[in-house]
Amino acid sequence: MPRKPNRPLRPPLKKKSDAIEILDRDPRDTRDRRTEGASRDEDAQPERKDAHLNADPRGPRTPRAPRAGGVAPTPRRPRIEGDPVRHPEAHRSALGQPERGERPAARGRGQDGGRNAPTTLTEPERLQKVLAQAGVASRREIEEWVVAGRISVNGLPASLGQKIGPGDRVKVNGKLIPLRFTQRSPRVLIYHKPEGEIVSRDDPEGRPTVFERLPLLRKGRWLAVGRLDFNTSGLLLFTNDGELANKLMHPRYELEREYAVRTLGELTEEQVKSLTEGIQLEDGAAKFNLLRDEGGEGANHWYRVTISEGRNREVRRMFEAIGLTVSRLMRVRYGSVELPSRLKRGMWMEMPEAEACALAGLPAPQQSREQDERAKRPVKLHRTQPR
């Protein structure tokens, strides 16, 4: 009876699939290996369902004679026309090379690669427009900074009307500004300003400012859409988009502002006619688009007025020009945005994204079902203490 060998039993060899056979075949070899039978190849990949994905496209490797130092030489194979594997950029053409300035999608975050992964390039834009969109400052302030030499592009002083693209490096006061050329939805805050706050970041007198109540931004800053006097309350808009702020404030758009005015005394018909037809002020003519009597008791009388300008203390000066004193002034509407009745003094709320895009003239963003349900909920009101 023959003795049992001590060597472990090897599983029977299986015939390689056609895909592996084709990938393992040397392009210079014109022989048909299928007619010679399957022979064991030490370099063949393990046979699995996806084995053809892991197979070595360069074909089987043949051992080389070692050098004197014991290291096998690396042979240089002759280049064959039409062989994409030997092309130095073959791996780029196979995997796909991103366009100039385009970021590859991040792994593990879906096809989009996250909200910040893809960057769609656009044509070069004007410097002040790009910086305003980034929330650095308004266009007018940026133009003043350019004239003062505070902005540089690629190490050189910037010029008015200069256009920049994604590859340019912009610095403000020597600090590099991260710029994005993708269209992002602007953020808009609705704030009910009380009396006793100034619409300015720095006040030599140390008075409280409206910016002390606003939430902090990780990038950019809040820009006030217009101003309200220290003793004036009501609707005040803020945005992080300089282009939207310019659109809401520029005189050529003539957005209406509506105010509730309380005066000490009542207007006569002649005074109403002069206010609606126009009166002369120190800085030019001014008039109300609409003046409506809201009634009152005693010496106090209420009026509703609309005006298409935003000059300094214009409403108060117009009433003072005809001999009446304004005891209280409150802005209740700016353009198409009205002051919500449930938004009390010192409180703010963020405008829904769809409404902010409509205000900026942008298409509404595509939202999922959860986002649509969240948008239908009442907007949350916030009251923060001054910092």
Is the same domain home to 194 and 309? yes
- Pseudo-torsion of CA 85, 90, 95, 96, nearest 10°? -150
* φ, ψ for residue 78, nearest 5 deg: -70, 145
Is the same domain home to 221 and 369? yes
Is the same domain home to 227 and 200? yes
Cα 337 to Cα 236: distance, rounded to the nearest angstrom: 10
Cα 385 to Cα 214: distance, rounded to the nearest angstrom: 9
Assigned domain for 35 exists: no
How far, CA to CA in Å, does 186 sit from each of 135, 189, 221, 238, 304? 10, 10, 12, 10, 31
Is the same domain home to 130 and 237? no
Higher-pLDDT residue of 14, 254: 254
Cα 54 to Cα 233: distance, rounded to the nearest angstrom: 70
Check pLDDT > 80 for residue 101: no
Assigned domain for 317 exists: yes
Check pLDDT > 70 for residue 302: yes
The domain total for the chain is 2
Query: Model confidence at 181, in pLDDT bands (50, 70, 90)?
Result: low
Report helix angle 242-249 to 353-360, nearest 10.
60
Predicted local confidence at residue 307, as pLDDT: 95
Check pLDDT > 80 for residue 262: yes
Check pLDDT > 50 for residue 12: yes
Residues 6+ apart with CB under 8 A from 318: 275, 279, 281, 286, 288
Cα 229 to Cα 244: distance, rounded to the nearest angstrom: 22
pLDDT one-digit tens code per residue, 337-354: 999 999 999 999 999 988
Which of residues 176, 203, 218 is at a domain's end? Answer: 176
Respond yes or no: is residue 24 known to be catalytic.
no
Residues 6+ apart with CB under 8 A from 285: 278, 279
Assigned domain for 362 exists: yes
Query: How many residues are present in the chain?
Result: 387
Predicted local confidence at residue 209, as pLDDT: 93
Assigned domain for 287 exists: yes
3-class DSSP state of 101: coil
Is the same domain home to 285 and 342? yes
Predicted local confidence at residue 159, as pLDDT: 92
Assigned domain for 227 exists: yes
The CA angle 264-265-269, to the nearest 5 degrees, is 140
Please compute the mean of the pLDDT values over residues 268-286 and round it to a whole number: 92
Check pLDDT > 70 for residue 77: no
Which CATH number belongs to the domain containing residue 368 in this structure? Answer: 3.30.2350.10
- Residue matched to tokens 């006097």: 229
Is the same domain home to 155 and 234? no
Predicted local confidence at residue 7, as pLDDT: 63
Cα 387 to Cα 210: distance, rounded to the nearest angstrom: 10
DSSP H helices in 194-304 = 242-249, 269-277
Residues 6+ apart with CB under 8 A from 89: none
Query: Model confidence at 56, in pLDDT bands (50, 70, 90)?
Result: low
Check pLDDT > 50 for residue 184: yes
* φ, ψ for residue 126, nearest 5 deg: -65, 145
User: Shortest CA distance to 165 belongs to which of 121, 133, 135?
Assistant: 121
- Residue matched to tokens 């239908």: 376
Is the same domain home to 297 and 321? yes
Assigned domain for 300 exists: yes
Query: Model confidence at 314, in pLDDT bands (50, 70, 90)?
Result: very high
Lowest mean pLDDT: which of 64-68, 152-156, 202-206, 318-322? 64-68
Please compute the mean of the pLDDT values over residues 33-59 and round it to a whole number: 49
Is the same domain home to 206 and 315? yes
Is the same domain home to 140 and 266? no
Q: Which H helix or E strand runs over 293?
A: strand 290-295
Of 41, 83, 168, 229, catalytic: 229
Query: Model confidence at 38, in pLDDT bands (50, 70, 90)?
Result: very low
Which of residues 176, 211, 240 is at a domain's end? Answer: 176
Structural domain harbouring 268 = 188-376
Assigned domain for 268 exists: yes
Assigned domain for 101 exists: no
Which CATH number belongs to the domain containing residue 165 in this structure? Answer: 3.10.290.10
Is the same domain home to 233 and 321? yes
Is the same domain home to 135 and 273? no
Is the same domain home to 150 and 259? no
